[in-house]
Amino acid sequence: MFLDELTPIAKELMQQPVAFMGGFFSGVFRLNVAEEPLKSWLEQQGATVTTAPYETNGSNKGPQSIAID
């Protein structure tokens, strides 16, 4: 039931607690890894920072229409 849904989260927490808590912290505080100072700190640690596919450079404003054939 509810505990079955929490099992994968608990396994990840036990396998890599620092990475899990870092991801949890950044999610709670809505930190963007592509922005400074987090980006430079991650690069110093040896991580490769990539931008998420949903990020835009400001050219995407408001709802857009699509055509479905």
Residue pointed to by tokens 């099992």: 7
Pairwise CA distance, residues 35 & 13, whole Å: 26
Convert 14-24 to b/e letters by CB count within 10 Å (16 or more is b).
eeeeeebeeee
Mean pLDDT of 60-66: 78
Q: Express each pLDDT in 17-56 by its tens digit.
A: 887 787 788 889 888 877 888 778 777 877 776 665 555 5
Q: What is the pLDDT of residues 4-13, one digit of tens each?
A: 888 888 888 8
Q: What is the pTM of this model?
A: 0.43
What is d(CA 28, CA 25) in angstroms, rounded to the nearest whole number? 5
